[in-house]
Homo-oligomer: A and B are copies of this chain.
Amino acid sequence: MAQAMTAALDHVLAIDPAAVLLGEDVGLSGGVFRVTDGLQAKHGVERVIDTPVAESGIVGAAFGMAVAGLHPVAEIQFLGFAYPAFDQVVSHVSRIRNRSQHRFTAPLVIRIPYGAGIGAAEHHSESTEALFAHTPGLKVVIPSTPADAAGLLITAVADPDPVVFLEPIRSYRRVRGEVAEPPTSVPFGEAAVRRPGTDLTLISYGAMMPDVLDAADQLAAEGVEAEVIDLRTLVPLDLETVLESVSGTGRVVIVQEGHRTCGFAAELAASIQEHALYSLEAPVARVTGWDTVVPLRRAEHQYVPSVARIMAAAQAAMAGV
């Protein structure tokens, strides 16, 4: 997936003269995950910019650049280091269109690796996408495949509004797949049905998708055909595809790595029962990370939803409890 993103960024820099990348170590060293590898050498230090260690400065400067007419792609090294920039994101980036009633806009992308599963240090394993989804004025994108990562990134840079682009760390190297050259753009607000099914709806996104698909395979072996939906963008949300599936299955399991309370699964569960209560054959189940700090390497497996936990929830849903 990382390579697909590099190709997408390369493409964007080539076709959009207003595009610039900035962030800590994105240039000379190619970024902590090498997503921007080689791009400074190819496109120059004016367009691939190494910044001081200052996340609020990175986002705030990118905001100003965007208002001036550039299409900045800012990188924050890990989601756990995005919080120093939170005020810029919430109070400025997400609002300038509204506070100026379309007069000024901030078409910037904030790329942020997120999620656990590589045994990293503290603050390197967060999945707090809900914080951005709760913030009006942001689009929130989380790809799960290389083609989507590239295609959604191209859409993000071209989008007239600010986009928080969350990249699943554990998929960077592990998830592979074909990507067109140049990558084809993927629209926002269209969930992908990754697997058709009639018995149960499994909904997830980003880093959890491989495990969700594994669980679906195992369920199939048990005779349960799960429809698997990959949301791809949390804002805008393709609730239609979700509701269509639920109207057929009546049973739903939502899988999310983030903390449980007020996570995105809560939003989905609330929305599903709002619209489809009478088709539900079982409670909408949430399989989530806990309301704990993400544990470090030795206990990380206790936190991230496992295939076993997804299976247990699916079986409970099939049993109607």
Tell me if A117 is interfacial: C-beta within 8 Å of chain B: no
How far is the CB of A91 from the nearest CB of chain B, in Å? 6
Interface pair B274/A283, CB less than 8 Å apart: yes
Interface pair B277/A261, CB less than 8 Å apart: no
Tell me if A99 is interfacial: C-beta within 8 Å of chain B: yes
Tell me if A107 is interfacial: C-beta within 8 Å of chain B: no
Instruction: Give the total of A residues in contact with B, Cβ under 8 Å.
Output: 50
Contact of A273 (CB < 8 Å), options: B134, B237, B283 = B283
Tell me if A104 is interfacial: C-beta within 8 Å of chain B: no
Q: List residues of chain B with CB within 8 A of the CB of A290.
A: 136
Q: List residues of chain B with CB within 8 A of the CB of A293.
A: 94-95, 98-99, 136-137
Residue interface mask A253-271, B partner, CB < 8 A = 1: 0000011011111110111
Residue interface mask A15-53, B partner, CB < 8 A = 1: 000000000000000000000000000000000000000
Q: List residues of chain B with CB within 8 A of the CB of A282.
A: 277
With A91-B80, A91-B123 already in contact, the answer to whether A266 and B270 are too (CB < 8 A) is: yes
Residue interface mask A122-158, B partner, CB < 8 A = 1: 1100001011011111000000000000000000000
Q: List residues of chain B with CB within 8 A of the CB of A123.
A: 91
**Beta-carbon nearest neighbor of A292 in chain B:** B136
Tell me if A214 is interfacial: C-beta within 8 Å of chain B: no
The complex places the Cα of A273 from the Cα of B272 at a distance, in Å, of: 10
How far is the CB of A24 from the nearest CB of chain B, in Å? 15
Instruction: Please name 19 pairs of A and B residues whose Cβ atoms are closer than 8 Å in the assembled complex, sorted by A.
Output: A98-B293, A99-B122, A131-B134, A134-B134, A134-B262, A136-B293, A137-B293, A235-B261, A261-B267, A262-B266, A265-B270, A266-B270, A269-B273, A269-B274, A270-B273, A270-B286, A273-B280, A277-B280, A277-B282
